[in-house]
Amino acid sequence: MSRAWAWLWLALCLLASVARAELAVPPPTSPVIDQASFLTDAERGELEKQLLDFHQRKGSQLAVLIVPAVDPETPFDYGTRVMDSWKLGRKGVDDGALLLIVADSHKTQLLVGRGLEGAIPDIYAKRILQDTLRPLFKQGLRFQGIQAATAQIEGLIDGEKLPEPARQASQGGGWGESWPLLAFFLLIGSGVAGKLFGRLVGSFIIGCLSIGLSVVLGAGVMMALLIGAVAAGLCLALGEHGWQARRQFPAAQLKRLEQQIAESERAHRGQLRFVVESALDWRAAWRGMSARQRALQWFGELRVWDTEENTGVLVYLLLAERRIEIVADRGINRRVAAGEWAGICAEMQRAFAARDHVAGLELGLSRIHEVLLKHAPRDGEPFVNELPDQVVVR
């Protein structure tokens, strides 16, 4: 009888030990589970946001579990059971990681899935726990220690080449996420279509393309038609406005002005370029560019600076604002005072105020010719035409 009681006692002890060993694994309701009140609510919330943001960006799952005790198991054994139960990481990738903190015994364990063993080998995990987490815990900086450790883990995972995370479609379909792409297409496409095909043809083309793209991205029929109309209107507004300038400067008169430019350059060292622009294009207007800034931009784009003696001179007319700007390279600026250029601009503006635009440009060319002949004469040196004489009309 005594032997039977002995066997029963032994069985009860074994059952008790097994029961004690099987400490319950909490359900994975959050990336941060604190059963030991180790962190404040605010700290736990901030840490949860950090880990969720990382999961959405990278795809890997990093979790923090804080428990009071795991006895008689070791943190490794208990952490292994948690990893098996929670199945952290993506299926087929196994890129999950668990930071286990045993509050009462101040023990920690970092466990990673097979997909992260290359990114976080045992020696790296040990350094994170001993060199980062433990010193901050000793200073009483619990939250800072966990945050620093998880940041290091995230950094190591970021350096590992893993599959891209799956992008979840937003509620209501893909249309809600696609409008930035469509807006970009409308702004850029309207300007490009107007430049390539003209405002009328370009507006028709960009309108049809916008309707088709809207339908593909999930917009309804009425919304797609509205977007097409907006795109066509943008093309009309942002497309080429050069017709206004060309109406003011017929081809025959431009040809005459170009001949005068060529004749003028043979008498002095200056190299002249004329630009007539109806209005600032949408890119310049969006940046709030002034007429002077636009003139400097044209000076660079037309390479007026690229002459042997740095004697290029740009005359820029902005019709919409009736502004005249003269930009001269340093080889001319050393010889001509800024006040002389300002006087020429004032004379030209008076002519433009009378709506005699061709006469205004010819007057400006005549005054510039006089100034360059005075300050930068050719003195019989051979003439080399380094810049085109054509007037740019936009």
Q: Is the pLDDT of residue 107 over 90?
A: yes
* pLDDT score for 238: 56
User: What confidence category does residue 182 fall into, taking pLDDT thresholds of 50, 70 and 90?
Assistant: low
Residues 112 and 96: beta-carbon distance below 8 Å: yes
| Tokens 């001509």, residue located | 336
**pLDDT of 21 above 70:** no
| Residue length of the chain | 394
* Reported confidence tier of residue 129, pLDDT bands at 50, 70, 90: very high
> Which tens digit of pLDDT belongs to each residue from 269-280?
999 999 988 777
Digit-coded pLDDT (tens) for 248-263: 777 888 888 889 999 9
Interior/surface letters 138-147, b for 16+ CB within 10 angstroms, e for the rest: eeeebbebbb
Residue 314 confidence class, pLDDT cut points 50, 70, 90 = very high
pLDDT for residue 166 is more than 60: yes
Which pLDDT score, from 0 to 100, does residue 12 have? Answer: 46
Q: Average pLDDT for residues 357-369, to the nearest whole number? A: 87
> Mean pLDDT over residues 344-371, rounded?
85
Average pLDDT taken over every residue of the chain: 81
72 cis-preceded (ω within 30 degrees of 0): yes
Where residue 142 falls among pLDDT bands split at 50, 70, 90? very high
Q: Is the pLDDT of residue 16 over 80?
A: no
- Residues forming a β-bridge with 67: 102
Sequence-separated (6 or more) residues with CB below 8 Å from residue 153: 62, 97, 99, 110, 120, 128
pTM score over 0.95: no
Best-predicted range by mean pLDDT among 10-14, 237-241, 336-340, 358-362?
Answer: 336-340
pLDDT tens column, 275-309: 988 777 767 767 788 888 988 999 999 999 999 99
Q: Residue 123: what pLDDT?
A: 92
Q: Is 328 exposed, middle or buried (0-12, 13-18, 19+ CB in 10 A)?
A: buried
Distances (CA, A) of 171 to 4, 168, 176, 214, 316: 66, 9, 8, 18, 53
Burial of 266 (0-12, 13-18, 19+ CB in 10 A): exposed
For position 169, what pLDDT does the model report?
Answer: 41
Nearest to 156 by CA among 109, 121, 108: 121
pLDDT of residue 184: 64
88-99: average pLDDT: 91
Q: What is the pLDDT of residues 28-82, one digit of tens each?
A: 889 999 999 999 999 999 999 999 999 998 889 999 999 999 988 999 999 999 9
Q: Which domains does the chain have, with CATH numbers?
A: 21-158 (3.10.310.50), 177-238 (no CATH), 244-393 (3.10.310.50)
State how far Cα 343 lies from the chain centre: 44
Cα separation, 90 vs 96, in Å, equals: 7
Percent of the chain exceeding pLDDT 90 equals 39
State the pLDDT confidence band at 172, using cuts at 50, 70 and 90.
Answer: very low
Q: What is the pLDDT of residue 161?
A: 87
User: For residue 167, what pLDDT is reported?
Assistant: 58
202-220: average pLDDT: 72
- Check residues 214 and 298 and name the one with the higher pLDDT: 298
Confidence check: pLDDT of 229 > 90: no
